[in-house]
Amino acid sequence: MDLSQFPRRRYTEFATPIEFLPNFTKALGGPKIWIKRDDMLGLAPGGNKTRKLEFLVGDALAKGADTLITCGAPQSNHCRITLSAALKEGLQCHFVIEERIPNSYSETASGNHFLFRLMGVNSITVVPAGTNMNDAMQAVADQLKAQGRAPYLIPGGGSNAIGGLGYVACAQELQQQLFEQAIRIDHLIVGSGSSGTHGGIVAGFVGNNIQIPITGIGVSRDPQDQEPLVYKEACAIAELLGGHFIIPRDKIVSIGGYWQPKYSIPNEKMVEAVQLLARTEGILLDPVYTGKIMAGLIDLSRKGHFKAGEHLLFLHTGGAPSLNAYESVLLSEASNEPTST
């Protein structure tokens, strides 16, 4: 697949590392765990949205935009990385923040919200849960157009066909790394939320004939609601690439149950997962996304869904800045030793 036909900005000048996790693997006592460090991608301070923004910002600049508008939750990693990209390109940046949990937005919050203020976001518009976010962003865009600006709207999570090209590029990068390093992987574990990362990596695997099964761990929905979104996203990416390959519906596999009670609300399995990886490998997960995804990997491994001796690759999509906003939760029941089985 030729990605050179699409405008692209490059924010990471290297392939993100693939690392084996020996201590975590020993503590888990099941499959062998590897990690792809997309938390080390460029833009402050890294994460999966960087790959999407390479293509989204490339498209925005090609269309003459001088302003980026995007949306997310109060601790949105996507908003933070979009702001970082805007600053690098000399663009204005405006957010529409959905207060998904009543009274969860605070102008003095730490974590990502602190970084919004530190990096100087141009404006934040807060709307209640259930708001049509595209309409809310368009309202901001209309105001800015009246002021003579040229805004470009980026959907939540950067999840559309253009943004999904970032994870087609990741699939190609991963394929080359596995070949060069002679690493065998039996399953890829990804987060499944706004669907851009999951849908993009599926499209990339299918289009490049990579036969590694992909399992998505839902961070906001269970499979009956999540999988249609991922399938739609993967098909849209395939169509954008010329429609030369078809996405089989059975390539879309997600597992739910690890994100409850609600999106961004902590649970015990997430706390254990964050503690365990931090205390065995010194690698930080976040409470909203990667902590719950890793909680799924841990629980499924313990239940025998993933077998001892299999090689699992965990796609680390970043998010560590939000840890500070959950400090009391992550340390409230902390033990001095990592959990093991």
- Give the catalytic positions in this structure: 76
- In Å, how far from its chain's centre is CA 148? 33
DSSP string, 179-202: HHHT---SEEEEEESSSHHHHHHH
Cβ atoms within 10 Å, residue 62: 12
Per-residue burial over 186-202, b = 16 or more CB atoms within 10 Å of its CB, e = otherwise: ebbbbbbbbbbbbbbbb
Q: How far is the CA of 77 from the CAs of 54, 197, 212, 216, in angstroms?
A: 15, 14, 28, 19
Give start and end residues of each alpha helix (H) in the chain: 22-28, 49-62, 77-89, 112-119, 133-146, 161-181, 196-207, 223-240, 268-281, 290-302, 327-332
Q: Give 74-99 as a DSSP string.
A: TT-HHHHHHHHHHHHHT-EEEEEEEE
